[in-house]
């Protein structure tokens, strides 16, 4: 064998030795530069951020909601690669996956943060972890426990940890969380590790305005009340009512009624009222009038002077949509005016009230009204003493929203 041949063999051996050493070195250094000896990688790992909004955008929405990046929830799910006891874990937020960890700008994972979920195989960890405030920092969340049962290798996503009230970083883009599980309680003996990543966005800010709205209309025309649609078109027609028999004449022995209607919608947040004001039926130019029933509701009493009104939930003569009171986004009827349906014979089932020349509320809503229509029933009775003549009145209705 020549010297050249010997030299070549030595070089080959040296090269082989160097390759072997390098292989050993790479195997032991690990992929993240973490100081661990035999750590394996978490598998099937993920980070779910309830809100991806950057922390500096601020929020008026509730904490830990989808559009609040100031107080949000980060949920980590992963499979442990190594069966055994885990007594501490570290979640370190960095701008890069490897190398020296640089904290994302203004992230805050320690102050105010709480563990809201910690499960293994969908079962809450019997001996729970707690956040160690002394060890944790603005970008590092260290949790620990004194003891605990060993984690077996389970199905996909068998370990879940959720942390509330985390402030996202201000920096839009990707960040990384380096996760390490330790078999001891002091973040020393690494067992498994892994990295998950998240992306911060600005969210899509949409601004618009909704103006104050009110639709209020009245009619006494039977055909003027249409169906209640989303547009809540006004009721239409004349406000003239001829009350009485075919000749518009009242009688002692019989009560007569007639109807008008009103329709209202509004987006008033502080509610709305429907009011009326007007005199009782009056004979001009004299001062004779038909007695108003008053504030307390009464049944019809033919032969006695009465003028009153009430809302008829059955709609009376109207064929369009009426009624539907007391529910969400609907009017609620004032007690004295809520029983207009029924009979108007002597001591009939319907009852009426009327306060003359006084602004009086007959329906109201604590909030907005989508579209509500009411049929107002008027009743008139006369006594033998009611002077003959033509009696008239004008009832004015008001829809008053408070924004």
Give the residue with the Cβ less far from another protein, 325 or 398.
398
Task: Give the separation between CA 52 and CA 48, rounded to whole angstroms.
Answer: 9
Query: Is there binding between residue 252 and another protein (CB under 8 A)?
Result: yes
With binding defined as CB under 8 A, does residue 60 bind another protein? no
Measured between alpha carbons, how far is 125 from 291 in angstroms, rounded to an integer?
78
398 binds another protein (CB under 8 A): yes
**Cα dist. 331→322, 324, 327 in Å?**
11, 8, 7
Is the distance from CB of 365 to CB of 332 less than 8 angstroms?
A: yes
Among 186, 242, 295, 296, binds another protein (CB under 8 A): 242
| The binder of another protein chosen from 148, 157, 239, 320 (CB under 8 A) | 239
Interaction of residue 391 with another protein, rule CB under 8 A: yes
8 Å CB contact between 264 and 372: yes
Piece in contact with another protein (CB under 8 A), picked from 9-17, 108-116, 321-329, 394-402: 394-402
Among 30, 198, 340, 399, binds another protein (CB under 8 A): 399
Nearer to another protein, 89 or 355 (CB): 355
Determine, following the binding rule CB under 8 A, whether residue 397 of this chain makes contact with another protein. yes
Q: If we measure between CA atoms, which residue out of 84, 76, 77, 79 comes closest to residue 38?
A: 84
Q: In angstroms, what is the minimal distance from the CB of 174 to another protein?
A: 33
Interacting residues with another protein between 161 and 220 (CB under 8 A): 207, 209, 211-220
Pick from 251, 298, 332, 345: which binds another protein (CB under 8 A)? 251
Supply the minimum distance, in Å, between the C-beta of residue 187 and another protein.
49
- Which is nearer to another protein, 190 or 281 (by Cβ)? 281
Indicate the DSSP class of residue 102. Answer: -
Question: Among all chains, which residue has been given the structure tokens 């039926």?
Answer: 281
Q: Does the protein bind another protein through residue 238 (CB under 8 A)?
A: yes
DSSP H stretches of helix in 66-160: none
Min CB(256)–another protein separation in Å: 8
310 bridge partner residues: 377
Judged by CB under 8 A, which of 231, 240, 246, 328 binds another protein?
Answer: 240
Site for another protein in 270-329 (CB under 8 A): 270, 277-278, 281, 283, 288, 290
Residue from 147, 156, 247, 287 in contact with another protein (CB under 8 A): 247
Smallest gap, in angstroms, from Cβ of residue 209 to another protein?
A: 6
Q: Which two tokens stand for residue 67?
A: 């559009």
**Shortest distance (Å) from residue 328 CB to another protein:** 21
Residues 6+ apart with CB under 8 A from 218: 235, 239, 260, 261, 262, 263, 397
Give the other-Cβ count within 10 Å of 199's Cβ: 11
Which contiguous run of DSSP H or E holds residue 17? Answer: helix 3-29
3-state DSSP assignment of residue 143: strand
Q: Verify binding: residue 400, another protein, rule CB under 8 A.
A: yes
CB of 236 to another protein, least distance (A): 9
Length of the chain: 403
Determine the Cα–Cα distance for residues 204 and 206; give it in Å rounded to an integer.
6
Q: Specify the residue, 47 or 375, whose C-beta has the smaller distance to another protein.
A: 375
| 357 to 386: interface string for another protein, x by CB under 8 A | -------------------x-x-x-xxxxx
| End-to-end CA separation in angstroms for the chain | 105
Alpha-carbon gap, residue 7 to 190, rounded angstroms: 45
Query: How far is the C-alpha of 400 from the C-alpha of 275, rounded, in Å?
Result: 8
CA distance 139 to 135: 11
State yes or no: residue 340 binds another protein (CB under 8 A). Answer: no
Binding site for another protein (CB under 8 A): 207, 209, 211-220, 234, 237-244, 247-252, 256, 258, 260, 262, 266, 270, 277-278, 281, 283, 288, 290, 376, 378, 380, 382-403
């Amino acid at each position: 064998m020549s010297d050249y041949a010997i030299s070549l063999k030595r070089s080959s051996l040296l090269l082989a030795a160097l390759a072997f050493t390098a292989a050993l070195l790479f195997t032991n250094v690990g992929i993240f530069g973490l100081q661990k000896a035999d750590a394996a990688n978490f598998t099937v790992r993920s980070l779910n951020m309830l809100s991806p909004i950057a922390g500096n955008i601020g929020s008026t929405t509730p904490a830990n909601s989808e559009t609040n990046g100031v107080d949000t929830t980060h949920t980590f799910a992963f499979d442990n690669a190594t069966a055994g006891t885990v007594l501490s874990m570290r979640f370190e937020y960095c701008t890069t996956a490897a190398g020296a960890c640089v904290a994302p700008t203004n992230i805050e994972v320690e102050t105010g943060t709480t563990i809201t979920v910690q499960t293994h195989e969908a079962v809450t960890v019997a001996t729970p972890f707690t956040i160690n405030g002394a060890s944790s920092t603005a970008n590092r969340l260290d949790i620990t426990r004194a003891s605990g049962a060993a984690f077996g290798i389970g199905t996909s996503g068998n370990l879940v940890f959720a942390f509330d009230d985390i402030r996202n970083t201000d920096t839009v883009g990707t960040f990384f969380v380096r996760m390490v599980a330790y078999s001891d309680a002091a973040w020393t003996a690494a067992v498994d590790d892994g990295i998950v990543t998240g992306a911060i966005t600005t969210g899509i800010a949409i601004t618009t305005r909704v103006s104050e709205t009110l639709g209020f209309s009245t009619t006494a025309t039977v055909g003027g009340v249409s169906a209640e649609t989303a547009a809540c078109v006004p009721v239409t027609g004349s406000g003239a009512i001829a009350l009485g028999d075919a000749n518009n004449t009242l009688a002692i022995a019989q009560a007569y009624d007639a109807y008008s209607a009103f329709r209202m919608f509004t987006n008033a947040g502080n509610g709305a009222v429907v009011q009326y004001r007007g005199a009782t039926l009056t004979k001009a130019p004299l001062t004779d009038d038909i007695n108003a029933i008053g504030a307390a509701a009464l049944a019809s009493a033919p032969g006695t002077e009465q003028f009153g009104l009430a809302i008829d939930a059955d709609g009376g003569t109207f064929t369009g949509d009426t009624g539907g009171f007391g529910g969400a986004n609907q009017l609620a009827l004032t007690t004295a005016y809520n029983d207009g349906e029924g009979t108007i014979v002597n001591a009939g089932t319907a009852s009426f009230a009327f306060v003359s020349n006084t602004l009086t509320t007959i329906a109201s809503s604590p909030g907005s009204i989508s579209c509500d229509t009411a049929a107002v029933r008027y009743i008139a009775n006369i006594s033998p003493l009611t002077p003959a003549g033509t009696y008239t009145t004008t009832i004015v209705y008001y829809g008053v929203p408070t924004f």
